[in-house]
Amino acid sequence: MKEQLFKKTTFIRSASFLLALLATAGCTSCGSGESGADTTASGGETTTAVETDVREGVKDSLPEGLSFDGATVRIAARDAENYYIFETVGEENGDVVSDAVYARNRSVEERLNVNLEFIHFGTSAENYMEQVRTVLLSGEDAYDYIGIYQYLGLQHSVEGLFMNLIDAPYIDYSQPWWHQSYMDIISVDSSTRYMLMGDISVSGLRGLSSMFFNKTLYEELYGDPNSLYETVLDGAWTYEQLRTMVTDAYRDVNGNSEVDTEDIFGLGSNAVTQADHYSYTAGLKLSERDKDGYPTLITDQSRNVSVMEAIYKLYYETEGFYLFPQAEQTGAQLNQFIDGRMLFISDRLYLSEMLRDMNDPYGIIPYPKLDEEQEKYLALVHDTATLFCVPVTNTRLDMTCAVLEAMCAETYRTVTPAYYEVALKVKYTHDEISAQIIDMIHENIVTDFVYANNYVFGSNMGTIAREILGKKNNNYMSAYDSRVSQTESGIQSLIDQANEQ
């Protein structure tokens, strides 16, 4: 069966290349004014495989001999272990990703004659951003560039804290390590770019929508776990299929006639972050581009109504589904899954890093389609992806941008292959078919202008699924209508601000 499965789709050997395809596939719709709110990379037989050795040969356009005379480049980053390993310092400790990050930094330092100083602080994303914001508002030139969670960075970009990098020196947005279409989608128009997204943001890969299934439990119910992969690759993995399997998996282990964490159940989720992924992967779409290229709310909400009705049924009308309290979030779900008491767990690809010690074998699959009429499986880039910006206090823009270009290019050549091809596809998976599914997930990446800028508007329109599911309110249009005015006002304010520059 595996041989048949592997013939179903073409392998995509680079997640960064898939995102780079957005520059051609996604931006076509951006400019048309028809579907600029989401972005998908073309896949299937037309996609060219890019091997690691080919990527290493892709040259950047930085001048030969460019030197900054040993200057120190100050980089602000959140104080968290994942940032050290995947995006900032790294370490020569035998871990393939950490080693690659460490080597990348040394390569950039030697090439440009600079010293990279990573300034880590802030125990939480909000605490970190507030400290950064306080420094920038004081006018102190403390950082050359900053790595910030997407939802916080865009929220504070409207305060005039960051430089517009649309015409930044040395940065070549046509290169595959910059995800130009993604940056276009989260920006208000083509003249503004305050936040940079590219291979330098490994968290963009780690934060993609994905589900995991316990093969042991699946085999007890349905036999060969490869049959689920067949369903996925046949395009038949839908909400109807998921609900059936969730119900079939439930067992009242403690005999109290209640669904609780002592039982074995089909799926558990929360009504916060995971609500985002259920909704956008099923085709929720809030914005598009008008004839002038500006974002606007879509008028036809019928698809969104159907999406939210399907998710509501999964959460509240499906036996074997367990809604975890917000305070417990991923940890309790993870324990339930690792202990072999849950068939499915839904989250993001980074979860695979936490499943290495799981006794039961597991597989990776995409979130389901709304129905078989949905053309593709979709994967949302979570709003905690790291974006990079340059503060307005920066007095060394040329050096800063040269370093950003070199860092992103070298990440594309060495760090992304280490994470995507070795860590994610080999260390964190239990079978070769999961690696193929990971490629499928990366083929169809999606976001939305309103989702990315959700906290700019203050209306929580972009996270509307959290409201509906968290409050058990099965009335999408009521929740939508209550947010329209504030969201439209926020969008117009961003447009006006862009036009004033």
- Tell whether 271 and 227 lie within a shared domain: yes
Q: Give the CATH number for residue 308.
A: 3.40.190.10
Kindly state the tokens that stand for 447.
């976001």
pLDDT, residue 35, reads 34
* Parent domain of 237: 209-380+448-499
Determine contact, residues 143/132, Cβ cutoff 8 Å: yes
> Using CA atoms, how far apart are residues 407 and 200, in angstroms rounded to an integer?
7
Residues 270 and 332 grouped into a single domain: yes
Residues 220 and 104 placed together within one structural domain of the fold: no
Side chain identity at residue 285, one-letter code:
K
Closest of 464, 448, 461 to residue 35, by C-alpha:
448
DSSP 143-194: -SEEEEEHHHHHHHHTTT-B---TT-TT--TTSTTB-HHHHHHHSSSTT---
Angle at alpha carbon of residue 185, lines to 402 and 473, rounded to 5°: 135
Same domain for 169 and 60, yes or no, is: yes
Task: Judge if 131 and 261 occupy the same domain.
Answer: no
pLDDT mean by block of 10 residues, the chain; 501 residues: 39 37 33 35 32 79 97 96 92 95 98 98 92 96 97 94 97 96 95 96 95 97 96 96 97 88 93 95 98 97 98 97 76 92 95 91 97 96 96 98 98 95 90 90 92 96 96 95 98 94 75
Is position 226 within any domain?
yes
- Say whether both 116 and 141 belong to one domain: yes
Cα 85–chain centre separation = 18
Give pLDDT, residue 328. 55
Q: Quote the pLDDT of residue 501.
A: 75
- Looking at the structure of the chain, the number of domains it has is 2
Q: Does 495 lie in the same domain as 406?
A: no
Query: Within this chain, do residues 65 and 156 fall inside the same structural domain, yes or no?
Result: yes
Residue closest to 206 by CA, chosen among 1, 352, 19: 352
Check whether residue 303 and residue 156 sit in a common domain. Answer: no
Q: Are residues 199 and 254 in the same domain?
A: no
> Has residue 237 been placed in a domain?
yes
**Pair (278, 335) in one structural domain:** yes
